[in-house]
Structure formats: C-alpha cells, structure tokens
C-alpha cells in the first residue's frame, strides 16, 4: 500500500475492506476502476466478506477492543484483510503482515491473525486457499518475502543515523 494512500484511511470508524481499499485510492480513477474490475471477478464468498459491513464491524467492535487497536491500526488491519481477500497478500504471511503493518509484536499479531482466520474468513476459506494456491504456488514451498509497510532501506546499514525512518514510530 503506497504511503501517500494511507492518509485517506477513515480515522473514526473502519470501512469494509472493499470501500476502505477504494478509499485509499483517492482520486485515482484508473486505479479505482482496476480495483473494481478485479474485485468483481472474485468468488461470491470472498466478495461477501470484502464488501459486507459486518467485516468492518468485526474489526471495529471485536478485534479493536480485544487487542486495544488504535483507529489507524484498525484501518490498516482492514486493508490487510482486503489484501488477503484480493489475493494480493499471501495468507501464509498474515502474521508477519499484521505484525509489520500494525507495528505489533509477533504474539499479538499471531492472536489477531488466528481470530481472523478462525472467525472472519471461514465462509470463504476454501476459495481463498484455491486462489492463493494458484497465485502463490511457488511461494508456498518457501517463505514469501516479507511484505510490509516498513521502509526496506531501514534495515540497511548505510548512513543509519542520518536517515529518519518515518515508519518506525519507536524511534
């Protein structure tokens, strides 16, 4: 998710993954059209979770209070779920995605991902598995490269003190 698009996230109450994903695209008509087209091709079970407002309610009203997530974290979590549903992010990396995207430790990320997989995604799990198998067939055999919102350059040992990693809030 491009950094500039994150600013478009709803701050008060999360949107369903579909609306949230469109929302972060702002005025980019072409990107919106592409996203709409792509999502319209998804299996109905996946589309339901992607579009349904109950997904937003689940994250907002259940996961958020349960794990003490901030508005921004909830918004990011919605986007991660949307990304998994759209098969843009491999479901096997959900823990890493949550951990990195929300800036949470591995344990909490694991709990959140377990809750999502066991409570939110089951109706579409078979379709998700099939889609991910088709798309990430090689990835399944070896761990997928970690895909986070963090700056890849932050891990490099180059002028580390002179570079301010804006994504690292702990700095």
Q: Under the rule (CB under 8 A), what is the footprint of another protein? A: 8, 10, 12-16, 18-19, 22-23, 25-30, 32-33, 36, 39-40, 51, 53, 56, 60
Q: Which two tokens stand for residue 13?
A: 């109450």
Select 26 or 123, whichever has its Cβ closest to another protein: 26
Select 11 or 155, whichever has its Cβ closest to another protein: 11
Q: Are 114 and 120 contacting, i.e. CB atoms less than 8 angstroms apart?
A: no
Compute the least distance from the CB of residue 20 to another protein, in Å: 9
Compute the least distance from the CB of residue 151 to another protein, in Å: 26
Select 28 or 151, whichever has its Cβ closest to another protein: 28
Compute the least distance from the CB of residue 136 to another protein, in Å: 26
Compute the least distance from the CB of residue 28 to another protein, in Å: 8
- Angstrom distance (rounded) from CA 149 to CA 20: 17
Q: How far is CA 59 from CA 2, 105, 166, in A?
A: 22, 18, 26
**Residue listed under structure tokens 């698009």:** 5
* H helix runs in the chain, sequence order: 3-6, 17-23, 29-40, 44-51, 53-58, 64-67, 71-85, 94-102, 106-115, 125-135
What is the separation of C-alpha 17 from the centre of its chain, rounded to a whole number of angstroms?
Answer: 9
Select 51 or 108, whichever has its Cβ closest to another protein: 51
Compute the least distance from the CB of residue 51 to another protein, in Å: 6
Nearest to 26 by CA among 10, 11, 5, 12: 5
Q: Which two tokens stand for residue 96?
A: 């890493």
Select 19 or 117, whichever has its Cβ closest to another protein: 19
């Amino acid at each position: 998710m491009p950094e500039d698009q994150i600013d478009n996230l709803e701050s008060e109450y999360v949107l369903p993954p579909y609306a949230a994903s469109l929302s972060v695209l702002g005025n980019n008509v072409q990107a919106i059209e592409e996203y709409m087209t792509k999502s319209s091709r998804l299996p109905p079970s996946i589309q339901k979770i992607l579009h349904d407002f109950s997904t937003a309610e689940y994250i907002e009203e259940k996961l958020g209070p349960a794990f003490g997530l901030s508005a921004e974290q909830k918004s990011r979590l919605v986007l991660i779920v949307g990304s998994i549903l759209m098969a843009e992010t491999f479901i096997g990396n959900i823990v890493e995605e949550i951990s990195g995207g929300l800036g949470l430790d591995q344990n909490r990320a694991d709990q959140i991902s377990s809750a999502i997989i066991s409570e939110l995604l089951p109706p579409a799990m078979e379709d998700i598995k099939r889609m991910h198998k088709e798309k990430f067939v090689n990835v399944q055999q070896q761990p997928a490269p970690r895909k986070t919102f963090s700056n890849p350059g932050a891990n490099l040992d180059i002028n580390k003190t002179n570079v301010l990693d804006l994504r690292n809030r702990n700095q």
